[in-house]
Amino acid sequence: METEVAIVGAGPAGLSAAVAASEAGCRVTIVDAYARPGGQYYKQMPGEFHPRRPETLYHDFSQAQQLFAKLDDHARVQVLSGTTVWTVQAASTPGDPVTLYLNTGAGSVGLRAEKVILAPGAYDRVLPFPGWDLPGVMTMGAAQTLVKSQRVLPGQRVVLSGSGPFLLPVAAGLAQAGAQVVAVYEATTPLQWVRHAPRVWNHWDKLREGGDYVQLLRKQGVPLQFGRAVIRASGDERVQHITVARLSADWQPIAGSEEQREVDAVCIGYGFVPSLELSSLLGCTHRYDPVQATFVVQHDADMQSSRAGVFVAGEITGIGGSAVAMPQGTLAGLAVARQLGRLSESAAQRKMAPYRKALRHRQAFAVLLQYLFRLRPGWLSWMTPETLVCRCEEVPFQQIEAAIKDDHARDVKTVKALTRCGMGLCQGRVCGPSVAAITAALTGQDPAQLGALMGRPIVKPITLGALCDTSH
């Protein structure tokens, strides 16, 4: 298979890029793992479902419908749904076509693209605590997916614990779907936000959106408590009880503040971690962002990475939500069209100008949120020696501690080799950020110097038959 522009990911960033590039005259192929376009943010129900009030599925319903309509109108756009990129072959000469190897479910096929736009999104960030591996404890993204795509509740008595604006829409969605949301625990406190209040005055749309969610939760009788977190979960065969504690400014549990709650589901989320597997395989340059506590892809003003012909958009560049992802995707699509000769330099710059302006405005707010809801180091004290950090390989905190203190591991790659952290099915997507934080804390090093738990060349599951297929 061949295409001019291959876009990985059909969320807000990928869809915006596809619309911009196709409207400029490019042939576009979108590759997405989900059954229908939209990504996590614009998650669509299966086609067999017919919701009576589809506008309640997500906040920007009309905007999503406009994107889907534009996508359907373009004969130059091919959407490969239910398809994953399991590996890539970078061009030997910078700027030459890149080959993506796809798992379609029926087998493997190669897709050769002149330009690539990576918009793979992000993963939920979880912080390990005793009992987080019990059935019934899940990420907020998983809970939202259950409700959005299948109208299935994760439980009847649900607690949400974490930090960041994502808590509100997930809690509201669960309450609207019929769950009893026992409480929402936000680790930060409004007092920590007050001195930054002047910086939010020009972002009324986002403030209004947050206010709508808060009002809905109040109507449902859901308590929203600040400066608290779930620090322990317990139960026989699944979660039955949680321990909640008040936190100090650096997220140390305050002694004597613990309280117990009965629940059957716990949703955890402390922001997101970019999906960097494909950008790493393609040799893109990454930089460490200390506020977000993660690596992100480095790019120029046109969203091109350090690899010529490879562009990026959305959470892979830093967590900013759909408001940032959409103008980034449009800029990437227009830049690709210019490189392919579909737009002149002057026409491209003219079309890009309003999106550059919108991006500057929205990124300012995203950067503020990243700072306000940043991780504090006290969360490391939530773990006991037996707390699992890597669930795939069942590696507890004490084993990582021993690798660092006794075996003198000084970076995450060595910790991985000594403990098997990150060698399981998720390839470090879940445990990687925690392993890096633990290693930095115990060695006293800058996390930027420690590296990251990198996955293998095969980044998604694939059958042996497809792997052995030599036809491509």
Nearest partner of 289 among 307, 306, 276, judged by Cα: 276
Query: What structural domains does the chain harbor?
Result: 2-123+273-370 (3.50.50.60), 126-270 (3.50.50.60), 377-449 (1.10.10.1100)
272 Cβ partners below 8 Å, 6+ apart? 122, 123, 124, 125, 166, 315, 319
Burial class of residue 54 in the structure, from the number of CB atoms within 10 Å of its CB (0-12 exposed, 13-18 middle, 19+ buried): middle
pLDDT at 470: 65
pLDDT at 47: 67
pLDDT at 420: 96
The C-alpha atoms of residue 44 and residue 350 are separated, in whole angstroms, by 33
pLDDT at 205: 81
pLDDT at 129: 98
Model confidence pLDDT, tens digit, residues 246-263: 999 999 999 999 999 999
pLDDT at 55: 62
- Contact between residue 160 and residue 167 where contact means Cβ atoms under 8 Å apart: yes
Instruction: Considering only CA atoms, give the Rg of the chain.
Output: 22
Which residues share a beta bridge with 103? 84, 108
Residue 226: DSSP 8-state? E
The C-alpha atoms of residue 424 and residue 409 are separated, in whole angstroms, by 20
pLDDT at 393: 96
Annotate 416-432 with b (16+ C-beta within 10 A) or e (fewer).
Answer: bebbebbbbebbbbbbb
Average pLDDT, the chain: 92
Other beta carbons within 10 angstroms of residue 2's beta carbon come to: 13
Residue 407 sits at φ, ψ, to 5 deg, of -100, 0
State the pairing for strand pair 310-312/84-89: unpaired
367 Cβ partners below 8 Å, 6+ apart? 291
Q: Tokens for 97?
A: 């076509």
Question: Which residue numbers in the chain have pLDDT < 70?
Answer: 47, 50-51, 53-59, 470-472
Model confidence pLDDT, tens digit, residues 97-147: 999 999 988 788 999 999 999 999 999 999 999 999 999 999 999 999 999
- Contact between residue 14 and residue 30 where contact means Cβ atoms under 8 Å apart: yes
Q: What predicted TM-score, i.e. pTM, was given to this entire model?
A: 0.93
